[in-house]
A and B are shown apart, each in its own frame.
Chain A
Amino acid sequence: NAGVMQNPRHLVRRRGQEARLRCSPMKGHSHVYWYRQLPEEGLKFMVYLQKENIIDESGMPKERFSAEFPKEGPSILRIQQVVRGDSAAYFCASSPRANSPLHFGNGTRLTVT
């Protein structure tokens, strides 16, 4: 039973480009969460999705950031026109039910040059 799969592990983008981060939840998990972690900082909640629905996006910047979790395929976190401040580790987590413990993927480390 594979865990939460995130790809790519590392992503380098130049300022102004787009970054797409993918997350496949654990089998049987329909709840997906995205967190961002800056160096030496804690995990910051971004968005919580269920299949085809955004449940809570209160932690996600209103501009340039979007997330989806389609009926088929992985969840995607999309960052348009990246800036240096977007450089961080982005962790995806999944759970079988709302408010149950999360299982995390290995993360995607985004570097904006």
Chain B
Amino acid sequence: RKEVEQDPGPFNVPEGATVAFNCTYSNSASQSFFWYRQDCRKEPKLLMSVYSSGNEDGRFTAQLNRASQYISLLIRDSKLSDSATYLCVVIPLEGSGYSTLTFGKGTMLLVSP
């Protein structure tokens, strides 16, 4: 099983739609989780951290399920500018034997008018 897995998509949604992505991870010793956004041919940018209790930032909600080892990102009221690839990032505990931050391959979102 790959360390971090994401549905590659693309997810095609109309403006205003709600869309959710999941990301599963294999290392139960994983410590921290983040969502990044990458626009075509540009560098990844930190979107938000993921906390155990779940957290919200405007139209974006992130959740963590440690028992099932997945994190999710929910985007409400999609905008055209949300079109991008969304990467989940898992940080292992130090000394767990895993290399540093592991990025998923990303889920592509296309929001259309």
Contacts and interface: CB of A to CB of B under 8 A. Distances in A.
Nearest to A44: B103
Nearest to B104: A42
A91 interface: yes
A25 interface: no
B44 interface: yes
B52 to A, nearest CB: 16
Interface of B: 31-32, 34, 41-46, 49, 87, 89, 91-92, 94, 99-106
Interface of A: 33, 35, 41-43, 45, 48, 55-56, 58-59, 89, 91, 98-99, 101-107
Contacts of A98: 94, 100
A7 to B, nearest CB: 14
B100 A107 contact: no
A42 B106 contact: yes
B44 A91 contact: yes
Contacts of B46: 101-103
B35 to A, nearest CB: 10
B44 A99 contact: no
Contacts of B101: 33, 45, 99, 102
A55 B92 CA distance: 14
A100 to B, nearest CB: 8
Nearest to A59: B99
A33 B44 contact: no
Give the 9 A-B CB pairs with smallest separation, nearest first: A42-B105, A104-B43, A43-B103, A99-B91, A48-B100, A58-B99, A101-B46, A104-B44, A56-B99
A42 B89 CA distance: 12
A24 B94 CA distance: 25
B43 A91 contact: yes
A56 B44 CA distance: 21
Contacts of B42: 106-107
A106 B43 contact: yes
Given A98-B94, A99-B91, A101-B49, A45 B102 contact: yes
